Amino acid sequence: MKHIGLKITAFIFAIALWLYVMSLNSFQVTVELPVRLVKLPEMLAVASKPPQTLQVKVEGEAFDLMRFRSRLRTGDSSVASIVLDLQNAELGATRKHVTAKNFVAQNYPNIKFVEPDNQLMFIDLELDTRIQRNIPVRSNVTFNTAAGYLLSDEPKLSPEFVTVSGARNALTRMIEIPTDSLDFDTLKTGKKYTIPLNFDLFPAYVTPSDSSISIIVDVQKIATKKFEKIPVQLIGIYEKGSAKLVPDSVDIEITGGERVLDSMTNENVELFIEYNRFAIEDVDSLPPTVKLKLNTNVNREMSIKATQIIPDKVSLVKKVVKPAASSETNKTNEDYGEEEDEEDEE
């Protein structure tokens, strides 16, 4: 441990000398910078897929470069970028050369862009007319209810369409915009869900008006309600009064969404049998056809799960009609005899 102080002092001076030498020299490094397109005319849109980033070589002092690269590694895209000015761009294909004037790093004035040796760096673009379209949204979301509950209607998307702005050629190829794939299980109550849209296959530089949509789901508890003495109508072409149904009214139990059933009365239930069905099916009794007169906003297929008629069948009973007696049969022999005598006297 002899002369320890002298050794520490020498070490410190060596580091200081190294730092001083490093500060006098410039170094070059290759970095990947984001590409930004600016001042594009409103009537034009990018139709191609230009690179999102570009590898370039920059030069600067060691400490500036160390801080510069450190911030780039953290994903800070505001550190520096390659900016292409499209103010004077025209419709069709265009090639933009990348030079030192396109390099922007406002917080690092001492870091400079290094022009490539014996080659030109450029970015090719295809510009097209900008249009707007309403693209339908496709749901990739699955909703499953808990036991004893049902979805009373199809999930409703809001909005069903998303306005998209971009190049004509790109938008005319777009058929739909999917949502993220999500699953919701054991639902017991209705709810509005916010679902992100999936832009993984979106064309470059196409701008949607929304990044998410709402999906409204109506969930109801399953219940059963009984409607008593519902008349059964006999319909079709037949001689009125020649046939009747026995019984002419029945009870019906309906299973479905609790709120839908609560809104129903006997007036919402209609039962009928087609007269010709008895002859076509060659039977004496048939189950009535059930017609539910529900509000137009009720989904009959999803909100009603089952119907049970009590009794389950109704019989057709035909009445016997006696023919009316003719006037000839009402005449007696005496009547005929009197007529004959009158003829003889004449």
Residue 205 has pLDDT above 90, yes or no: no
Among 160-169, 248-257, 330-339, which is the least confidently predicted range? 330-339
The DSSP element (H or E) to which 280 belongs, if any, is helix 275-281
pLDDT at 342: 46
pLDDT at 74: 87
Mean pLDDT calculated for residue range 146-170 = 95
Q: Of residues 345 and 326, which shows the higher confidence score?
A: 326
Would you list the DSSP string of 49-76?
Answer: ---SEEEEEEEEEHHHHHHHHHHHHTT-
pLDDT at 27: 80
Maximum distance among all Cα pairs of the chain, rounded to whole angstroms: 183
28 confidence band (pLDDT: 50, 70, 90) = confident
Residue 325 has pLDDT above 70, yes or no: no
pLDDT at 339: 46
Residue 60's nearest CA partner among 79, 86, 34, 74 is 79
pLDDT at 164: 95
Which residues, in sequence order, are bridge partners of residue 104? Answer: 81
Which tens digits make up the pLDDT trace of 71-129? 888 888 889 999 999 998 889 998 999 999 999 998 899 899 998 877 788 999 999 99
pLDDT at 63: 79
**pTM (two decimals):** 0.68
- Other C-beta atoms closer than 10 Å to the C-beta of 4 total 8
Residue 87's nearest CA partner among 115, 124, 127, 50 is 127
Which tens digits make up the pLDDT trace of 245-297? 999 999 999 999 999 999 999 999 999 999 999 999 999 999 999 999 999 99
Query: Angle at CA 215, nearest 5°, toward 209 and 220?
Result: 165
What does the mean pLDDT of the chain come to?
A: 87
